[in-house]
Chains A and B, each alone.
Chain A
């Protein structure tokens, strides 16, 4: 199984600012995913990030608001831009395992926007 770390683990930010969340994996993986978990809600996929190509965003999420980088096979960043209180959520990074339908999750980044 992959070991995934995220930075920061939590942050409190002011409205209108941006935050970049880092996801580091201990092995090379093809597919990385970013999810959002709003308070009391389930996980919602934001985008799929593959190395060497543009991220694929799900309905309701756009690149201007959630730009993603995937510079190599072990690292990705998600930026939450121009934040508002509605962006307060836990943001999770996950990766596919050796079995294509298995995913491993990072510990999450708890974001609070004031």
Chain B
């Protein structure tokens, strides 16, 4: 079974500081990993996916198969980045997402 672990429930950084939200996964096949974000009073939305190797709102995430990690990073955090972040893995066979427990990021002024 898939498992996604986000070890930090809460994370606070100051504006302009680098931020890294940790995510580790366990999956026997080829993982497909995502980061979802939920801003205050908004719905859950896709932030980025590992397969696209994209940078969205300054965030990047690299899949490290050796460490089974998919950490989300941003070099200079902004106050508007404050939100709940969920790491998720997708099972092709079951066609479903498995979510981590989420990390509440607060960017302080």
Interface residues of chain A, those whose CB is within 8 Å of chain B, are 31, 33, 41-45, 48, 92, 96, 100-108
List of A residues within 8 angstroms of B90 by Cβ: 101
Decide if B12 is an interface residue (CB 8 Å cutoff): no
Q: Which residues of chain B from 79 to 97 have any CB-CB distance to chain A below 8 Å in the complex?
A: 86, 90, 92, 95-97
**Overall SS of chain A's interface:** strand
Contact of B99 among A43, A48, A96, A108 (CB under 8 A): A43
C-alpha spacing A105/B98, complex, angstroms: 14
- Tell me the smallest distance from the CB of A30 to a CB of chain B, in Å: 10
Contact of A42 among B46, B96, B102 (CB under 8 A): B102
Contact of B96 among A45, A92, A106, A107 (CB under 8 A): A45
Contact B86 A106 (CB under 8 A): no
CB-nearest residue of chain A to B97: A103
Decide if B45 is an interface residue (CB 8 Å cutoff): yes
Decide if B11 is an interface residue (CB 8 Å cutoff): no
**Overall SS of chain B's interface:** strand
C-alpha spacing A103/B90, complex, angstroms: 10
If A41-B101, A42-B86, A42-B101 touch, whether A105 touches B43 (CB-CB below 8 Å) is yes
Contact B99 A105 (CB under 8 A): no
List of A residues within 8 angstroms of B86 by Cβ: 42-43
C-alpha spacing A96/B44, complex, angstroms: 14
Contact A108 B100 (CB under 8 A): no
If A33-B96, A42-B86, A43-B86 touch, whether A92 touches B44 (CB-CB below 8 Å) is yes
- Tell me the smallest distance from the CB of A69 to a CB of chain B, in Å: 20
Known: A96-B95, A102-B46. 12 other contacts (CB 8 A): A31-B95, A42-B99, A42-B101, A43-B44, A45-B96, A45-B98, A48-B95, A92-B44, A101-B34, A104-B46, A107-B43, A108-B43
List of A residues within 8 angstroms of B32 by Cβ: 101
